[in-house]
Amino acid sequence: MKVTCVWQSEQHSAFTDLIYFEHRWWCAFREGSTHMSLDGGLRIVISEDGDVWQPQALIHWQGGDLRDPKFSIRSDGQLLLTAGMRWCTPVDARESFYSIGFLYDLNSHVWQEPIMDDLGKDTWRWATTRHKKNVYSVGYEGRDSAGCLYQSTDGLYWQVVSTPFFPPSVCYTNESSLAFDDKSQAICLTRRDARGGAKALLGKAEAPYTQWHWKALNIPVGGQKLLRLSNGEWIAGFRQINYRKGTAKTVIQKLDLVKGRLRPWLTLPSGGDCSYVGMVEQAGYLRVSYYSSHLDAQARIYLAVIPLTTKKLSLRFR
């Protein structure tokens, strides 16, 4: 396994995603003064080989903090970037968030102006997953505090599929990563927060994804990404916190859908403020983007390249 620092600056760099598009690697993340500052912009960097990275775009929103950029390739082949925006000064007590989408113009090589659809108001649609001709996302916060599954044909204008989406819980239920199996069953890995940790949720549904069945997993997760590998195995990348020691690591674990359990596989070089992974399988390798502040408390962006064809993995960091 090789781990490379993709990006570092004086800014807090965090909340990554990764995709392979038009024969290049694209990594998106937020840059801001701090983890929760209201001045965040979306930084996009690209690479031909995954080793040398160049800045491609930096997107800011006047009066808003952009966060959680997530890629998807639409059924028409266009590159989609979705994100959440926090108003620096809320429009009113009921509207502090806005979920927005950007399309990449292959002719001009620039990102188009963001689309703000009406259903993006006062919700945080976190992560976008394509399945067949549609893309899906789960909203939380604001009016979607009970969760809402959204569907879109273009990733810009959305419709409600299922709400309330989360099962009843006394915990704060929020970030959700979706994936689909080869029979179109939807799988959802959902984060829950509470003092001392709250176990994550695993949801399953058949099309049209209006009836969900949930169970609690064996551990908490944070900043997670769910992925089904080409060999049929399910993996999840996330932040794992040791609440007794007050430490955190970014890990990749294998998910047993039948038993509803996550089990250890890999721990990436990480610590402190970390996680929010992007994961792509290609040509026998798993590539994982993530951020971490383990070296000197400065949050940086990393890329791990993991061979999937060997049983033993050795770590190489540069």
Q: Quick one: which of 55, 5, 46 has its CA closest to 22?
A: 46
Q: What is the pTM of this model?
A: 0.95
d(CA 318, CA 2): 8
94: left (phi over 0), alpha (psi -120 to 50) or beta: alpha
- What is the pLDDT at residue 314? 46
Distances in Å between the Cα of 252 and the Cα atoms of 41, 59, 161, 224, 235 are: 27, 30, 30, 9, 7
- What is the pLDDT at residue 310? 58
Q: Quick one: which of 71, 116, 75 has its CA closest to 97?
A: 116
Distances in Å between the Cα of 1 and the Cα atoms of 61, 250, 265, 276 are: 37, 15, 13, 19
Domains and CATH numbers, the chain: 2-317 (2.120.10.10)
Q: Quick one: which of 265, 272, 260, 263 has its CA closest to 288?
A: 265
- What is the pLDDT at residue 195? 78
Beta bridge partners of 80: 72, 103
Cα 226 off chain centre by: 9
Q: What is the 3-state secondary structure (H, E, C) of 152-187?
A: ECCCCCCEEEECCCCCCCCCEEEEEEEEECCCCCEE
**310: exposed, middle or buried (C-beta count within 10 Å: 0-12, 13-18, 19+)?**
exposed
- What is the pLDDT at residue 95? 64
Q: Quick one: which of 64, 39, 75, 53 has its CA closest to 114?
A: 64
pLDDT averaged over 10-residue windows placed end to end, the chain, 318 residues:
96 98 98 96 97 97 95 96 92 79 95 94 96 97 96 97 96 97 98 90 98 97 97 97 92 97 98 97 97 96 92 47
Q: What are 254's two structure tokens?
A: 């294998």
- What is the pLDDT at residue 316? 47
State the DSSP string of 231-296.
Answer: TS-EEEEEEEEETTTTEEEEEEEEEETTTTEEEEEEE-S--SS-EEEEEEEETTEEEEEEEE-TTT
